[in-house]
Structure 1
Amino acid sequence: MLSRRKALKALSTLPVIGGMLGPSVLSAKTVEAVAIPEARNFFKELGVRTFINAAGTYTSMTGSLMSKPVTDAINFGTTEYVNLDELNDKVGERIAQLLKCEYATVSSGAFGAMTIGLAGVMCGADEEKVKQLPDTSGVRNEVILQEAHNIGYTHALTNTGAKLIRVANAKELEKAINKNTALLWFLNANTDQGAITREEFVALGKKHNVPTFIDAAADVPPVDNLFKFTKMGFDLVAFSGGKGLRGPQSAGLLLGRKDLIKAARMHTPPRGTTIARGMKVNKEEVLGMLVALELYLARDHEKEWELWENQIQMISDSAKSIKGVETEIHVPPHANHVPSLKIRWDENVVKITKDAMREQLRDGHPSIETVGNNDEVGITTWMMEPGQERIVAKRVKEVLENA
């Protein structure tokens, strides 16, 4: 017979029965009879194909895989009721201790962190202003950013009703600051594409008493980035939880000034008349994110890096064994900072296009997802399970050899 706790866990998969009758009136025997077997393969049952992830932490490819301690924490969260604000307070304090910053909260991804972070800056602790967004009447509503940092994810900022002011350099930035300026926003992935450095950006914010926010969604690893940007002086920092940290895909971290994060939390559930009501982070994700962070900080990062280098080298050597194929091992300086591989060839010699190779890898058995463009096929190994690099190396060689 199932224990009461196991019975309650099983009920979480039965919204209709559990909702109608409630756990108190269902016997453990009843739950045992209708519980979902652990061996059930949902993806196979639904006809959803799985694959080896040789591409990276893309949302379309469901980010990263969580470890058992993380999923155990998530499952534990399903067994009891708690006050959501109290849990967020306690976890925020724990994360702040771990990352040596003033305060933190678990957000609905880096995108959600950007929205609530800006909303907190705009409204402060004024409950009436909190309720009125995205109506920005009487609220500072301008966000200044570099033109080179204006990407699609800035929708996370305009969700608040804010207006984006794009500048090319520091002189234009200072000229753009006025009484309506709420925030200076920086995209770390495009650090090298802007004229203003991170340090100069922070200094300008402090000079004009305007908060600064850096989006570092995909910037773990290196582990140092979790500490670097708050130490540098950014008032707010956003990280994705479902990429390098290997937490829940729909979670993230917002780090920085306590007053601004407390203000940001005023826009989140359980409050219901705010723009971020739909950016709910449940207790299970909050616990999962905390454990994922603890595990990441405890990891042997040097050993992990060495593993990735060896895996990439193996795939590179396998591809280069085909006449006419060239490879390049590189590490992006910002965002997805891991050993990566570019495979190129003369299509007059190896008669297959880059798109056709990606398609063959995707359609093969097992399916393998890669990235790239018309000039190259791109591969990373950091999201692979151990041993999968050998499968990828073999398949890459086969496709190129048979072209």
Structure 2
Amino acid sequence: MGSVSRGCPHKPCARSVFRRPARSSGVGIGRSRLLGIFDEFGVRKVVNAYGTVTPYGGVLLAPEVLTAMSEAAQSFVDVGELAARGGRLISHLLGFPDGLVTAGAAAGLSIATAAALCGSDRSLAAALPNVQLTRREVLVHRCQRTHWTQAVRLAGARVVEFGSHGATSPDALRDAITERTAAIVYYAEHAAVRSLPLTEVTRLADASGVHVIVDAAALGFPPEELRRYGDAGAAVTLVSGGKLLGGPASTGVALGTESMIQAMRVHSNPNFALGRPMKVGKEDIAGLVRAVQVTVSRGSEEPCARWRRQAFHIAHALKMPEGVRCRYVDRGEDDVLPRIVPRVYIEWDPESLGATAPEVARLLLNGEPGIAVGAWERRISVNPAVLLEAETDLVVRRVNQVMAELASATSPP
């Protein structure tokens, strides 16, 4: 079992010039779950030990965020003005020149691609994706390509891969950039050692007048680290609002240069353009702005300490049968980001228990209470990112119960 670090390496952000609300107790911590409404709808509530993933709703909103959303619901405003102003407030908190609130990071990727293809030309924006363009290609590392590339194609771009799955050289990117290249998308979540450094990508892109779009959807925590993408020369950085920034699950924010963000506004709701269906309501915009204020004001030390405390407690309270290994790690080793959140991994040979990790995860989810965990072929992951402290022992009890039942069923009579 790994050792517990003495402190979180990330320091709280410096004070901002913007007014912030009182200190929050943290994302989803210190308040009871909403009771009644899901029972009325006939939908089971889930204890989320998986992480800030979209299928389970992202995060629980802090009271300050709910208050802001409630207030926003009681007045009318110009939504375009609010989206621009809200994005600018967030961008200044996070150290960028400008920003735009989007309907999640994936919507931001489509809109950023449209802006790279057409700039601020409103006639072209209204005609996408069926327009004739000289620059229509968007480059992606072959080793980074994911299903999120569909958001790029949605804008009418042609995706072109460069490099290989094993390695990528500067020459591979240099050769891939042509007069048809409009942008390079850099998936920061998948920027493994096989990828070029972002600074090298932006250097080569700038020499050819090509935009660099960074998808950092789940990397919004600690928030002060986001500015490194802008400092490296990216035209725009896309972040999910509904993960550890603490905002509504349907939100995101694009952070970048004034020219790129201005072009993205042309392609965004309420304009009749590609982003019109990707609508963000005034309540969600207000909620995201307040969430970022709360998250930046709170800093990262308290959440890091709480996550370590919860994960360490779970690792020591689990009583696993013979042949099952339980270990605590300070940083996640799976694809649920950000990896700054510690994990508890439970690992075994599927033949020894007669069940794979996905099958165990289904047993946990279908039980009472339903527990959502990450699952791979030979291990499950308990992630405390949005786990209420009052739920920690529930997770321990259910995991112990399921694993004991499986061990009993496979043991000789």
TM norm structure 1: 0.86
Match of 1:62 in 2: 57
Q: CA deviation at 1:193?
A: 5.4
Matched, 1:386 2:389: yes
Describe how 1:137-152 pairs up with structure 2 within 5 A.
Answer: 137-152=132-147
- Structure number with higher relative contact order (C-alpha < 8 Å, ≥ 6 residues apart): 2
Match of 1:157 in 2: 152
**Which is helix-richer, 1 or 2?**
1
Deviation string 1:128-155 (CA, Å, 9 cap, x unpaired) is: 1111110230352110110011111111
Give the letter for the 1:311 counterpart.
Q
Matched, 1:244 2:244: yes
Matched, 1:329 2:324: no
Match of 1:174 in 2: 174
Give unpaired runs (5+ residues) of structure 2: 1-33, 407-413
Q: CA deviation at 1:59?
A: 1.3
Match of 1:312 in 2: 311
Give the letter for the 1:158 counterpart.
R
Describe how 1:279-358 pairs up with structure 2 within 5 A.
Answer: 279-330=278-329, 331-332=331-332, 335-337=337-339, 338-347=341-350, 350=353, 352-358=355-361
Match of 1:102 in 2: 97
Is the CA contact (8 Å cut-off) linking 2:99 and 2:255 kept in structure 1?
yes
How far apart are the structure 2 equivalents of 1:347 and 1:187?
Answer: 33
SS in 2 for 1:101: coil
Q: CA deviation at 1:53?
A: 0.2
Give the letter for the 2:224 counterpart.
D
SS in 2 for 1:239: strand
Q: CA deviation at 1:358?
A: 1.6
Matched, 1:234 2:234: yes
Deviation string 1:9-35 (CA, Å, 9 cap, x unpaired) is: xxxxxxxxxxxxxxxxxxxxxxxxxxx
How far apart are the structure 2 equivalents of 1:277 and 1:69?
Answer: 29
Q: CA deviation at 1:197?
A: 1.5
How far apart are the structure 1 equivalents of 2:288 and 2:226?
Answer: 14
Match of 1:75 in 2: 70
Give the letter for the 2:201 counterpart.
F
Moved more, 346-355 or 219-228: 346-355
SS in 2 for 1:56: coil
How far apart are the structure 2 equivalents of 1:191 and 1:320?
Answer: 37
How far apart are the structure 2 equivalents of 1:328 and 1:373?
Answer: 15
Q: CA deviation at 1:350?
A: 4.5
Is the CA contact (8 Å cut-off) linking 2:144 and 2:195 kept in structure 1?
no
Is the CA contact (8 Å cut-off) linking 2:349 and 2:378 kept in structure 1?
no
Give the letter for the 1:91 counterpart.
G
Match of 2:41 in 1: 46
SS in 2 for 1:387: helix
Is the CA contact (8 Å cut-off) linking 1:122 and 1:140 kept in structure 2?
yes
**Percent of counterpart pairs with the same letter?**
27
SS in 1 for 2:159: strand
Q: CA deviation at 1:349?
A: 5.0
Moved more, 104-113 or 362-371: 362-371
Q: Where in structure 1 do 4 or more consecutive aligned residues deviate above 6 Å?
A: none
Match of 1:254 in 2: 254
TM norm structure 2: 0.84
Q: CA deviation at 1:288?
A: 0.7
Q: CA deviation at 1:108?
A: 0.7
How far apart are the structure 2 equivalents of 1:398 and 1:40?
Answer: 26
Q: CA deviation at 1:221?
A: 2.0
RMSD: 1.9
How far apart are the structure 2 equivalents of 1:40 and 1:336?
Answer: 29
Larger Rg, first or second structure (1 or 2)? 1
Is the CA contact (8 Å cut-off) linking 1:320 and 1:326 kept in structure 2?
no
Is the CA contact (8 Å cut-off) linking 1:129 and 1:139 kept in structure 2?
no
Deviation string 1:80-128 (CA, Å, 9 cap, x unpaired) is: 1111222123222212221121100100100111111111121112111
Match of 1:133 in 2: 128
Moved more, 168-177 or 331-340: 331-340
Matched, 1:395 2:398: yes
Matched, 1:202 2:202: yes
How far apart are the structure 2 equivalents of 1:59 and 1:268?
Answer: 22
How far apart are the structure 2 equivalents of 1:275 and 1:349?
Answer: 52
- Between Structure 1 and Structure 2, how many residues are aligned? 364
